[in-house]
Amino acid sequence: MAVETGQAIRAAIYTRLTTDTALKALIAQSGTIHMHRVMAPQDSPFPYLVDRLTAPRWPLMVLTYFLDLWYYGESPETPDAAIERIRTLLENWRITTGASEVGAGRMLFFSGGYIPSDNDMVWHYATQWTVDGISKRLTSLVGT
């Protein structure tokens, strides 16, 4: 059950981020936002997102969601704007099952910041989120 819930949550977040036109304008390559699970393949072209989700803890179902942005460029201007857009999309966003709020979860921003790189053109911004309030087995989440 926990794996299915995690997959449904990740799918809902993926859809919300990769279909947003404002975020696409900032970080889409050829019109596509690249998002990888756990880690990007070696030599992945910049920019891209990487996400991870902890296993749900029962019975309250509090999860931790990690989302990192990797960007290559001369300044942090674009990654800063992209992170701000991501926060706008996810902060307090209610994840629901279909048209009801049964089994709903809410995204809460916990922390974020740049992680130093050995290349001064690589910008790595890591965020951590709490997903709370999920109480049922979820397999077909949609965002509202």
- Give me Rg for the CA atoms of the chain: 15
Sheet holding 48-53, edge to edge: 35-37, 48-53, 63-72, 122-132, 100-115, 94-97, 141-143
CA pair distance 38, 14, nearest whole angstrom = 13
Q: How many domains does the chain have?
A: 1
Q: Which domain holds residue 38?
A: 2-143
pLDDT at 10: 85
Burial of residue 5 (number of CB atoms within 10 Å: 0-12, 13-18, 19+):
buried
* Residue ranges in the chain modelled with pLDDT below 50: 1, 99-102
Computed over every residue of the chain, the mean pLDDT equals: 84
**Residue 31 is part of a domain; what is its CATH number?**
3.30.2000.20
> What confidence tens digit (pLDDT) does each residue in 27-67 have?
998 889 999 999 999 989 999 999 998 876 665 667 889 99
